[in-house]
Structure 1
């Protein structure tokens, strides 16, 4: 039995060694958090990403520990979005060979059953991707070192467990965090894939691609399609082409929503979200209002005087003299002398 366990650990570590040569542990020494603190720095969340795993015992000072709760959340902030290949968890043991296995099965396994692993761009797991959910492990099958593949992109790796629902296979009514090390293997920069993270993503408008195959997983803002080859349809822009251009925009940039083609009459600004200043109207707000009875009642779209004209003027825009006029100056705001 001891020989079998030793062989399994050797095979596991050889596999990890091969992966570590290809991908980088992007979680090492990154900021970490756990839902509740337990026992000060000795059990701090950061212990799980400090690179130390020589002592996986409860009192070794190398594990993040949270005791007896209904819910348990721990996460590491990778500080920016990374392309992830796989995640490895080293749970607490007692460093005693075969005794470790017995103690782990008898006292630790139950408090781990049902755990989940998420990758998200925020600290909210509901906004991320579920990489793994334990629905099958028992106290006799859950491993003390667990690895799951997760070919996604994200900034936060989140470990979560709960006892708010009833699990028939769970023997212990509370969950603990006993994470002695969490390793997140992936590429240090986005836009590349392959075993050495050296091959550029093949699609020019691809923001993130599959870490093994290079297949587009997320297009750059302004593009969509399997190969990110299709620009957003007219009137839409941004990530996944889900943002709508302003209705006052004659045509907006598919990437950032800037109204490159200008605004409809009466509006101005990069996003055509500003009305013309009082007294101005039309395309580019370049037309001056006529002799409206109230300048603030001049339509910013077509210059119509909404409540009528000043004395002596007529027409929708109040630019026509009611009597024969002699106009001085070339501007529509020039003084006019009425001849009676």
Structure 2
């Protein structure tokens, strides 16, 4: 229901990954995770991102191109179109991941929306819906398998970002809120407001105060 009210603001936006598997082959490109296609969740179908093997860090991000209001994020992970259970080897690659929303490509500059600390190969879902009510420009997927990291034995030995689709639902224009993104922020000089309540979370340049009612001093 929510996915039909808010807009997928990540669709066809610029995307990047740190280490692409076979960099000259578009079947593994970072843009595949925001192309709107998720009928083939296999590595070679041209609809998924596939990162290089034997890496200790894996990261992918989408650039929303401006700071926008986000409500939730849905991730479709690579299953190779096989049953998603403990027998599927890709479950171990998904484990331990994090999702951030930031105004820069540096994940630690932003907000941690989700960090997997409890899933195992039986419980991790292939499709995960993450509520993260925040404003940001970049949605960043991150996973790591650092030396001496003390990871559970059922984690994969290397880090991967095998994403078949990442949908980011929110408002396509700043300054709006509500289930259909049809309401302007309650305060006239507010630039960013809570997507559900309309409470101001950031003033337009030149204004300050709880309701952005105060003009900033000169300079």
Give the alignment's TM-score, normalised by structure 2: 0.91
- Tell me the distance in 2 between the aligned counterparts of 1:140 and 1:220: 47
Q: Which runs of 5+ in 1 are unaligned?
A: 1-17, 233-251, 258-340
1:231 shift after superposition: 4.5
Structure showing greater relative contact order (alpha-carbon pairs closer than 8 Å, 6 or more residues apart): 2
Q: 1:53 aligns with which of 20, 30, 38?
A: 38
1:166 shift after superposition: 2.0
**Structure ID, larger Rg:** 1
Q: What does 1:21-100 align with in structure 2 at a 5 Å threshold?
A: 21-39=4-22, 40-66=25-51, 67-96=53-82, 100=83
1:105 shift after superposition: 5.1
1:136 shift after superposition: 1.1
Q: 1:213 aligns with which of 197, 200, 204?
A: 197
Superposed CA offset, 1:121-144 (max 9, x none): 111111111111111111111100
1:230 shift after superposition: 4.2
- Tell me the distance in 2 between the aligned counterparts of 1:171 and 1:36: 20
Q: What does 1:195-210 align with in structure 2 at a 5 Å threshold?
A: 195-210=179-194
- Tell me the distance in 2 between the aligned counterparts of 1:137 and 1:126: 23
What is the RMSD computed on CA atoms of the aligned residues? 1.7
Aligned to 2:210: 226
Bigger share in helix: 1
Q: Which runs of 5+ in 2 are unaligned?
A: none
- Tell me, yes or no, if the aligned pair for 2:43 and 2:49 is still in contact at 8 Å: no
Q: What does 1:143-162 align with in structure 2 at a 5 Å threshold?
A: 143-162=125-144
User: SS in structure 2 opposite 1:158?
Assistant: strand
* Pair 1:130 & 2:115 matched: no
User: SS in structure 1 opposite 2:108?
Assistant: helix
* Pair 1:185 & 2:169 matched: yes
- Tell me the distance in 2 between the aligned counterparts of 1:58 and 1:131: 26
